[in-house]
């Protein structure tokens, strides 16, 4: 993932659980002449899991505590943000510190967690969807602070180590929308979303329907690449709602999703959708993909650039009766604009690696 953007935005959730009470050892009288041994030590704390990692990250943002935030990651963790260079190890903490200096009142919470549990000593995988809101209070992305609010929905795909800490994270959110909200880009931008009060957890079950759902979404995306409109629309429920969060409006009906189909197939030649990861979680499907093509037509308000684009995206889809019922596509609109040549990245404040 290339370019430079605001990092440190992680998907977070307020997922504190109830404090568990210690389990008392049943009092059983020993048999005659038996030696009564000392009770066993208290059971070990539960593994550090996705919920705990997310809560740790959230507390790091809400308390402006970068070191606590960094505790959610392994020492050699890699954070890859769409449209940004990778951050590794201590750089993850440094980028978080740079963020909260510009947005010291950042609030973040998750609203959906899709997960696969521990397997063969690995920590599993979590797909966390989240909302962030904040107020710009110092220079950011070349924009002077005017105390304007920003807000965005995003997603983090996280691979966990055996102890539940994050060893690899792919993060997607629209920096262009945030930049537009503070006056750094012209155009129409989405309103600041509400911070969610609760988060829905959807674990994978391993059911055959999950694999079938994944296949349905893959075929829908393949039909978009192949320009087979009937197959693309046929994979969708009659009440479908699709939302590309890098664009200013949602697609709320079958007729509207046809507009999305036309936008991609008529604006790009050699359109390709390379699926890099795909998972099923109950009635939900998550797809990581790289969309490539040459922009030869007007797209999203921009004239044809003639440039070859490579865009990193995640789609989260809710299924109903074997068809796509709802869908949300996450990405970074700034990644597209930089490649089109309509935006030049400003110099960023150097990272201050902890301990240096």
Q: What is the pLDDT of residues 292-327, one digit of tens each?
A: 999 999 998 889 999 999 999 999 999 999 999 999
- Please tell me the class of the 208-340 domain: alpha beta
The C-alpha atoms of residue 172 and residue 330 are separated, in whole angstroms, by 6
In the sheet with 107-116, reading across from the earlier edge strand, the strands are: 87-88, 73-81, 166-173, 149-160, 125-135, 107-116, 200-203
In the chain, how many H helices and how many E strands? 8, 12
Same topology, domains 50-203 and 208-340? Answer is yes
121 band by pLDDT with thresholds 50, 70 and 90: low
Reference 88, options 5, 169, 209; nearest CA is 169
- Read out DSSP for 330-342? E--HHHHHHHHTS
The C-alpha atoms of residue 338 and residue 352 are separated, in whole angstroms, by 26
Q: Provide φ and ψ at 164, rounded to 5°.
A: 90, -5
Show the tokens assigned to 345. Answer: 């990245």
The C-alpha atoms of residue 338 and residue 83 are separated, in whole angstroms, by 9
Give me the pLDDT at residue 219, please: 98
Give me the pLDDT at residue 55, please: 80
355 band by pLDDT with thresholds 50, 70 and 90: low
* Bridge partners, 287 (sequence order): 278, 315
The percent of residues in the chain predicted with pLDDT above 70, rounded, is 84
Most confident of 158-162, 226-230, 243-247, 352-356: 226-230
Q: How would you class 44 by CB atoms within 10 Å of its CB: exposed for 0-12, middle for 13-18, buried for 19 or more?
A: exposed
Domain ranges of the chain: 50-203, 208-340
241 vs 105, 238, 258, 281, CA distance in Å? 33, 9, 12, 19
The C-alpha atoms of residue 30 and residue 162 are separated, in whole angstroms, by 39
SS3 52: helix
> What mean pLDDT, rounded, does the chain reach?
84
Query: Quick count: other Cβ atoms within 10 Å of Cβ 179?
Result: 23
The C-alpha atoms of residue 87 and residue 104 are separated, in whole angstroms, by 21
* Bridge partners, 281 (sequence order): 284
Given a contact cutoff of 8 angstroms between Cβ atoms, the answer to whether 307 and 340 are in contact is yes
Which CATH code, of 3.90.1150.110, 1.10.8.640, 3.40.50.450, 3.10.450.50, is assigned to 50-203? Answer: 3.10.450.50
Lowest mean pLDDT among 44-58, 89-103, 194-208: 44-58
SS3 40: coil
Given a contact cutoff of 8 angstroms between Cβ atoms, the answer to whether 221 and 287 are in contact is yes
Give me the pLDDT at residue 2, please: 40
Give me the pLDDT at residue 199, please: 86
Please tell me which residue, 98 or 19, carries the higher pLDDT value. 98
Give residue-wise pLDDT tens across range 126-169.
999 999 999 999 999 999 998 999 999 999 999 999 888 899 99
The C-alpha atoms of residue 231 and residue 1 are separated, in whole angstroms, by 31
The C-alpha atoms of residue 108 and residue 152 are separated, in whole angstroms, by 10
Give me the pLDDT at residue 18, please: 37
Task: State mean pLDDT over 212-231.
Answer: 97
């Amino acid at each position: 993932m290339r370019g430079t953007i605001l990092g440190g935005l992680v998907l977070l959730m307020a997922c504190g659980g109830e404090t568990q009470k210690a389990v008392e050892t049943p009092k059983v009288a020993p048999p005659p002449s038996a030696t009564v041994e000392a009770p066993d030590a208290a059971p070990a704390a539960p593994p550090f899991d996705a919920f705990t990692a997310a809560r740790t990250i959230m507390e790091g943002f809400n308390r402006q505590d970068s070191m606590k935030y960094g505790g959610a990651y392994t020492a050699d963790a890699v954070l890859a943000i769409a449209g940004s260079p990778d951050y590794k190890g201590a750089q993850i903490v440094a980028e978080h510190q740079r963020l909260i200096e510009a947005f010291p009142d950042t609030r973040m919470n998750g609203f959906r967690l899709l997960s696969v549990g521990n397997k063969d000593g690995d920590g599993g995988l979590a797909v966390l969807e989240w909302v962030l809101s904040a107020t710009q209070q110092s220079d950011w992305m070349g924009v002077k602070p005017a105390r304007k609010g920003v807000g965005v929905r995003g997603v983090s795909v996280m691979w966990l180590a055996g102890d539940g800490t994050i060893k690899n994270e792919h993060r997607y959110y629209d920096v262009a929308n945030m930049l537009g909200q503070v006056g750094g880009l012209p155009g129409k931008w989405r309103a600041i979303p509400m911070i969610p009060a609760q988060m829905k957890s959807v674990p994978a079950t391993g059911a055959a329907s999950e694999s079938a759902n994944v296949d349905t979404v893959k075929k829908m995306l393949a039909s978009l690449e192949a320009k087979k409109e009937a197959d693309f629309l046929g994979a969708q429920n009659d009440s479908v709602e699709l939302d590309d969060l890098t664009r200013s409006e949602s697609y709320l009906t079958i007729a509207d999703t046809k507009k999305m189909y036309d936008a991609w197939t008529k604006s790009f030649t050699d359109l390709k959708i390379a699926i890099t990861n795909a998972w099923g979680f109950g009635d939900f499907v998550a797809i990581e993909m790289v969309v490539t093509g040459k922009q030869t037509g007007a797209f999203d308000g921009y004239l044809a650039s003639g440039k070859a684009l490579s865009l990193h995206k995640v789609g989260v889809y809710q299924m109903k009766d074997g068809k796509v019922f709802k869908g949300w596509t996450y990405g970074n609109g700034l990644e597209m604009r930089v490649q089109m040549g309509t935006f030049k990245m400003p110099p960023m404040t150097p990272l201050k690696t902890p301990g240096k």
